Amino acid sequence: MTTTLITGANKGIGRETARRLVAAGHTVYIGARDAERGRRAAEELGARFVLLDVTDDATVEAAAKTVEAAGGLDVLINNAGIETRTEDNSVPVAATVTGDQMRNTFETNVFGVVRVLHAFLPLLERSAAPVVVNVSSGLASLAHLSDPDHPAHFYPGIAYPTSKSAVNMLTVQYAKAFPGMRINSVEPGFTKTDLNGNTGTQTVEEAAEIIVRMAQVAPDGPTGGFFDINGPLPW
């Protein structure tokens, strides 16, 4: 039985990923910082709940102990993420973004990934087929955002794409450090979720497809890569 932990999984893409992996036979832990919502989601999906706030060392360490005591971990999906939005649902641009906004975004999107990896890597190293999926974004692609002919070029925000580019670098470096693991970044697509004020153009079902696929990658599959549903993406 494959045991999988998904951070930020009580709603949106994380919840749909959990649903799909439970259906695929995984024992799934829904990591959530809101205990009530997390427990409810776990009960509805036939998963397990573990309190986990990626910005808080204590809850991450406690979650690792809980999962370890129950038998260990095979797949880690770093899904929890935020995008800073103003009251009118716009994103802070180069002329307005503040250091505090950048710090807040990085605390969840980047430092949170490192915090969770640090706590769960010892468990993953004991697995026969360990997998890490870092949920990134197409907006992390320097190639796409610097290309005037690519749709992503017109996204004006600073904090979110910068944080996701950092996640991609984490993927590359951790994949080199742990060659026995399959560690990849994925781009789920512009999805209608609370993260973007429900302005996305695709469903959570569509978005979860690449995450579910890479969560089930074989031991001889790719590692250190960046993928969407159609294949590899440029950094």
Active site (catalytic) residues: 160, 164
Residue appearing with tokens 């990849």: 184
* Structure token digits, residue 81: 């993420």
The DSSP 8-state label assigned to residue 8 in this structure reads T
The dihedrals phi and psi of 120, each to the nearest 5 degrees, come to: -105, -10
* Structure token digits, residue 138: 């197409």
Burial class (CB in 10 A: 0-12, 13-18, 19+), 154: exposed
Closest to 133 in 3D by CA, of 33, 224, 22, 11: 224
Is the distance from CB of 139 to CB of 162 less than 8 angstroms?
no
Torsion of CA 41, 201, 208, 227, to 10 degrees: -150
Distance CA 151, CA 209 (A): 22
Going from the C-alpha of 168 to that of each of 52, 98, 111, the distances in angstroms are 22, 23, 13
